[in-house]
Chain A
Amino acid sequence: MSEQSLQKAPGQALPTGKQIVIAKGDLQQIFEALGAAGYTIVGPTIHQEAIVYEEINRVDDLPIGWTDKQGPGHYRLLPRDDGRFFGYGVGPNTWKKFLYPSQLTLFRTGRNGDGFVTNSEQEVPQYAFIGARACELAAIAMQDRIFLEGAIQEPHYRARRERAFILAVNCTEPGATCFCHSMGVGPVNETGFDLALTELDDTFLIAVGSDVGADMLAGCAWRPAGTFELDKARLCLDESKKKMGRIMETTDLPGLLYDNLDHPRWDETAERCLSCMNCTLVCPTCFCVDVQDVSDLTGEQTERVRLWDSCFNPDFSYVHGGNIRPTIRSRYRQWLSHKLASWIDQFGASGCVGCGRCITWCPVGIDLTEEIAVIRGEQI
């Protein structure tokens, strides 16, 4: 540790907004506190050669000493020699996996002779999210707006969201497909977390975002952040803004796209797009779902199940007689114009947070920043 020695201060309440420093090893203390408080800890871990979000128990489960190399249609893990805990970008998973599960039983229906009775009791998991990035908190804030701030609240999302603990991480190493700075949401977590951490060489600088966050620090030895750590973090995060591999020009995107619904670029992109839905599945704000009935063989019991859907699914636009958007051209245009244009009309901000996942995980490497540049008439 650096010049000052750490003090252990159990029971001493840290006020929201306070910045402190802990030794990296003490992150495990936060895990212990979360576990003791009943949280299921989910965070980045390596699975099938990618960093995904899954249930983890110990700090050792994090991809310590790993990084990723991302590009259009490209993702590889590489070892790094500095033992960083969070020295990688975002992978294919998003937190909507937990807040808005890909498959959820809404209610069960049982025939009781005279008709059906519904039963919608649910167990609600209590998650602690470890390592959420600024783009991801922006995505969660957007989904809050969609599911909680309209006339009707989505109760499943709400129950999970209310109980969730968020330990955010400020991104010091953005990837080649990142552009959260263009979208005005990153790389620094400003709000929406319980604790926000910036990884320095030997220590974590931690900002306290809530009383619950402060409680989880009870087992850690800490000292107040000094000028050294604050300056160092600021420097890293300023650098981070410049290191983003992509830039999105966001000026009047609704006007641009609404005026170009017949642009020839849609045809060209449709030639490449496989309509595979990867972009919508990895997108942290995409929220489209289907609802299906699953019956047992006797027809006595039926579950009404909500599943992630995608506007790239041909059946998505089905009305009697056929599909409204039978071509890939119209489906890609639907996705991009919703994400970047009509989303703003509907929810007051762009549906894109600049995480770059749709670029990385597109099997043919379609890059929405490039699509916008071309429609703007820029030379690529």
Chain B
Amino acid sequence: MTATYTKNHTTAAFDGLLDPMLPQTATIKRIQQETLDTATYSLAFTDPAVAERYRFLPGQFNMLYLPGIGEVAISISSDPGQPESLLHTVREAGNVTGAMARLKKGDLIGVRGPYGSAWPVEMAENHDLILVSGGIGLAPLRSAIYHVIRHRDRYKQVTILVGARSPADLLYQEEYETWREFNIEVVITVDRADESWRGHVGVVPMMFYKLRPDPRRTIVLSCGPEIMMRFVIYEALARRIPKDKIYLSLERNMKCAVGFCGHCQYGPFFLCKEGPVLSFDRVEPFFGVEEF
């Protein structure tokens, strides 16, 4: 390998302002409890100049930082058309998310981002859309749903398949009716029902049985546990939806979100840069490999 970078000996100082690891401060404006262990945090940058220029694409994520605790990658679950109202739906699962659960309205939090690739919402125009989520996987898909609603005439049939472990684990339940008002079919299923449940029971890939997608004009967007997405792919391929029309949002450990820490490496990709959203044709050689 030969050197391609030409240094000049003169640049002397470290410029901290350019540090991609430095978070911005944001205030928690509202916390909405979604389920027993999941809440949505509404954030606003304290610096108006930062708030002014902040934009994101559906499917991208931010690094949320609590001093003394650490940082965690959380997808943005709000409307890209309203970047000033930034929502993150967080499930209590580890150190940082556990500490976040103890925060209250008005507390400050560090934010840097947005990072990563987006759902292919432009490429998907004039297509039918099938969005498939498992559990908290609905959070990154919700920003795509808001985008579709905002530009509903650009998309044809839109179907959302929502899966959760139990009725109590269903996210954003109060919004399903609104989505339906925009001519979006919302199919809900739970792995385990309770006495009050009158809907579908079973894993979410099974909901494909209800669909008759046209493989020439259908795009699938999916986020959830990898095992779930494996069967989503299986069902989509069985309906002859091409591999490059199946998009997945993948998850790996992330420390830096700018491709320097190596944690989110996934074959030829860094999921923080080329991902988290990737089409299945690009990840196929690695997707089923155990412990990859």
Interface residues of A (CB under 8 A from B): 106-107, 109, 111, 114-116, 118, 120-122, 124, 126, 137-138, 140-142, 144-150, 152-156, 158-159, 161-165, 184-185, 190-192, 210, 212, 258, 261-262, 287-293, 295, 299, 302, 304, 306, 309, 311, 316-321, 324-327, 329-330, 334, 337-338, 342, 345-346, 349-350, 353
Contact = CB atoms under 8 A, between A and B. Distances in A.
Interface residues of B, number: 58
A162 B5 CA distance: 10
Contact of B253 (A158, A304, A317, A334): A317
Interface in B58-113: 67-71, 91, 93-94, 97, 107-108, 110
13 contacts: A109-B68, A114-B108, A155-B15, A159-B12, A163-B9, A185-B1, A192-B2, A290-B261, A295-B68, A317-B252, A317-B263, A324-B253, A346-B270
Nearest to B10: A162
Contacts of B156: none
Interface stretch (B16-24, B117-125, B170-178): B16-24
Contacts of A292: 70
A150 B93 contact: no
Interface of B: 1-5, 7-16, 18-23, 25, 46, 67-71, 91, 93-94, 97, 107-108, 110, 251-253, 255-256, 258-263, 265, 267-270, 273, 285-286, 289-292
B4 A144 contact: yes
Contacts, number: 180
Given A141-B5, A320-B94, A320-B97, 11 more contacts: A138-B2, A150-B273, A161-B7, A258-B267, A290-B261, A293-B67, A293-B69, A319-B252, A330-B291, A334-B265, A346-B269
Contacts of B260: 146-147, 154, 287, 289
Which 10 pairs show the lowest CB-CB distances between chains A and B? A115-B108, A345-B268, A288-B262, A330-B291, A320-B93, A120-B16, A144-B5, A192-B3, A159-B14, A141-B3
A124 B13 CA distance: 7
A289 B253 CA distance: 12
Given A145-B4, A153-B18, A342 B265 contact: yes
B136 to A, nearest CB: 9
B274 to A, nearest CB: 9
Contacts of A261: 286, 289, 292
